[in-house]
Structure 1
Amino acid sequence: MEDLKTVQAQIDLLQAALDHVNQGFSVFDKELRLVAWNRGLWEMLDFPKSLAVRGTHLENFLRVNTERGEYGPGDVEGKIQRRLTRARLFKSHYFERIRPNGQVIAVSGTPLPQGGFVTTYSDVTEDRRRQKKLERTVEERTRALRQSEDWLRLVTDNIPALIAYIAPGPIFRFANRRYAEWFGQSVASINGKPASEVIGEKLFQELSPHISHAFRGNAVSYEYLRKRPDGKDVSMRSTLIPDMTVDGRTLGIFVLSLDATDQKQSEATLMQSQRMDAVGKLTGGLAHDFNNLLTILMGNLLSLSRQDGQLTPEALKARISPMMQATQRGAELTQRLLAFSRGRPVDPQIVPLSKIIDNVSALLRGSLPASIEVLVNEPEQMTASRIDPTQMETALINLAFNARDAMREGGEIRFGIDELTIDERHASVLGVLPGAYACITVTDTGSGMDEDTRLRIFEPFFTTKTFGTGSGLGLSMVYGFMQQSGGAIQVSSSIGQGTEIKLFVPALPATTLSQTTHQADPNDTSQLARGNGELLLLVEDNTDVAEVLAEQIRDLGYKVLLAENADDALSLAEALSEIRGVVSDIIMPGQMNGLVLARKIREKRTDIGITLMTGYADWNVLEPDERDVGFPILTKPMRNNSLARALRQIVAT
């Protein structure tokens, strides 16, 4: 009896525990009769209290639910029997049922080993409401995000810029329509492709250092040239901005590219204006130089005329030698000034920097006051860089004239060249890529500048000069040129201590320079390649120049036939098989210039060698489609050694 009481007490305790569970609970035996339950079942499902008796069959519960519409409208008995049939299978099951009052009940049944099953009932109404609300929110957010993406795509596709996002790899993850079309892709096809495949291996090799620098967390700007399908060169200016996390990791880089062709043309116009301003400053000094040269020529010519043939060969040579040197010096000055003043579009070339310094110093020495000394610290080794030499000369001349203005009482301007390796820290300060650089230093002993002025000197139109004496564009153009060349500029100055300006440009090994041949003394005729009486056709419209050139060519061992004009020269070349070569001026009056003449002769006589000559420093005088000359060109006045080599080459053709 005591044992029964103990068991009943345990059952009552278990029942009390089950009644406190916030789920409904029931146990049916293998006959589908109620064995156990808890209070939560009746509170959750509103069953009649009369069913809360052990042995109540499952059918009674199903009938109550069916009759009050829990399973929807239709055949009551059929609904009950179908559910009894499934219950007798005693298989695990889970389903959710929405009651007529909107309550959502989750039913989970598990079979028992001796038959029957235990079932739990959970009210998941609030959970499902929250889930639906969350789903609606997600749907709304997705729709809003899609709309935002559509707007973003609409905006990025219609702004006049190329926009992209590159992930590590580097792989494209986004590109606007203009960017994709620029590289022959679609917005869909470019996504996920490696950068090298999209932009091409050659261009990728050029841009790869900039991309790598950006992935290391640095903002990068650079320019590159690319041909459009119509063959036109387009200059692009790109900026890479790293997409970084708070802890410093780079997730990718944003790319913004702009067509800078028109801007480059405007910059070229400004640069030409600066060149012409500098030419105006140079011409005074050059006029002084030319007056000195003319004095040498006139003095020796007067001396020769007075001697009336009485001079010994040694004395005659003593008179002629300075005259030859004066004419050569005049020719050099003219060519330098013309080349500098005409300029060219941005034309990067591999050039020795010492040659640029020498050219600039030669131009400046005759143009600056005698109280200002131009000094050059020659480098110990040859240093080369890939830059536009004309723009570099313009930049250095601008800096020299600024230095001149700061030295009213005279002083020194010193040029120097050094090589150095810039590490990542220093490169980040200068805004360049790490690597080998050449540093051109321009130092003056002038009045210097205060800190406020130093910080503003690269601003366009900022000038400390009086109105009308300076445009304020000189130093801003120097700054722009350094940026275009992948370099940087650094200024150190203080009041009364002068100014030091450093121009950093990427350095190349001296081995990249083409081997220069040794130039012989232009006045030494002993080693000249002489002719053997070959007949040459000389085409020159200026009679006086033609006679001098003809005599110079005869002195080199050739026979000369003079042509009055291009038409006459063409007739002679066709008629006389004895003609071995043609020397023609490029610019001549009439419908046919020297280049057209040369091409017509070449069509008729492939056995004739041809060389052209000109007094111009470049080919701006020709039409754009004529500038690919295809023939050797001599620049007037011609030195004997240069002329001799050219003539030897054409008769050997």
Structure 2
Amino acid sequence: MTSTRSTTARLTQAGLNLIGQALSIYDADLRLAVCNRPFATMFDLPDRLTRPGTSFAETIRYLLERGEYGEVEDIDAMLDERVAQARAFEPHYLERTRPSGQIIAVEGSPLPQGGWVTVYTDITASRAQERLLRARSEVLSEQLLERHEALELANRKLAASNAALREAQAEATEMAARIQLTTEMLPAHIARLDRDRRYTFSNRRLGAVMPGAQSDILGLTMEEALGPRTYVDIKPRLTAALEGAPSVFEITHEPSARRIRISFTPDTSEGEVTGVYALSVDITEEAQARAAVAQSAGRQVAAQLTSGMAHDFANLLTVILGLKDRLAGLDLPSDAVPAVEAIGVAATRGGALIDRIARLSGPRDLVPRATDLAAFLAEAVLLAEASLPGGITLSTRVEGLDTPVLLDPEALRDAVLNLVLNARDAIGPEAGRIEIAAVNIRDTWVELSVTDSGPGFSAQALEKGVEPFFTEKGEDGTGLGLSMVYDLVKLAGGRTRLSNADGGGARVSLRLPLRQPPPGPAPTLVLLVEDAAHIREAVRDRLVAAGHSVVEAASVAEAKDVMAIDGIGMVLSDIMLKSSETGLDLARLAAERDLPVALMTSLPLDAPLYREAATDWPVIRKPFTLEKLAAALA
């Protein structure tokens, strides 16, 4: 019903605008109810005086101050007189000559429900013709009068046509503005290209879909707008669309590392393609999720295929080891003993290989949480340095990742340590360098790379390095290390790249989706446990600033009593407390009551309590910002 009324109102307004005369309707309160476009044009009124609800007095004051009624000594008195006349409205007809010389016929009629309607007619031309006719009627012939009447009729028709044209133009302009506004609100780039591959329409969203691209591209060719590097991937599909073949495809926009889906639809007229409509959408997150789902599905298939084989091989290896033990108990020739021992070593390595295959293909769920990459890399260095010879230095670098990101730190730690050990083996006994870097790539990816100063990857390793069982270590390698790293990254929706560094050496780059941790929980009642009063006060202030309510305890025993209070929504405790019980004991008790727990500490990364805590609960290192606290609480 609302839509019908709206349509009727628009049709009525359009009809009034087509009338050649000016029209205004004021209600009983002397406020404008409706007017048409000629009303505004005839008196050159600003938009604010043609809007419904505008007072009659405001319009008259504007006309008086502009000199519409000639020179007026007391505008306020004249205004009061005109308003009083309007309130005691009577039907009337008058002709008024404006300061410009225009003659207007004014005809007003009251309305039954109050108010009045007034029609204004420009009679300047007709009055001039009448004066001319009266002055020269004695010399005008009958034919001249007929031609005058025909010309006046033609002029009226022309004026009506011009009014209709202006109204259609106004409607078209308004519709085009609405379409442009609507398309610019969409999270996609919509455009049209002509046969010369130039943009004839764009909703100016190209820069939002492909970061770095300009948005004002009308008149540019696609190659000029996107750049040669991106255009070369799109050109074949655009050529096909200009030949009449629609297509939907995906590309990676290299300057921004984002995944884009593009649709081309030919624009045809009378069977001929005159251009192409283009729709571009950023599907980076969708592509990342799709890759993760595909990898997970592949893992399930691999698990089904390998589980039975691993079981059978394990049985065979058990038999082999049993026979080896039996052979070792026999009185064998001395030269047979090494062979029997070799059988045992081979069977044992086969068992370890089966275990790694099971871990590679077996189920593994990623558990992402807020991860401070600087602290994460510091811990990785601490764990890896024990396995590195003295001549190899291990360094880290973090760029653009000052706040926590959402990653699975346990799975990522396994991957990083695997790559560091591979780099160590590549460098060999000589002195060398290994660098672990974490870099923000255009707010889309976290690129974690391990670079060494060794001889670098061979051509074959660059091609097949992530394939299962590929190794260049001979009998010392299983060929499953990089495969497991590749599998982990794919499972997270990322990608792995092997390359050789510019200065020599190998580089393995892991690109993982850059996800910000969710905001901290909704304001809740937090049990804060900290034995140092000044630290407890500082943390309490941060919690209150984040919108939480806080109850405090200085020990585990005190916290146990407070934990019985109804409404406790979360426990935030220091790990190391001055008591026989630690924050871990309190965390276990809170977990039994289904209370969320976050721990804080200043212990070193290699402290046993720190390692134990980080395994099961989010740990935030002191001192910390509100952002890191919110990420830990999330």
TM-score (norm 2): 0.37
- Return the index of the structure with the highest Cα Rg: 1
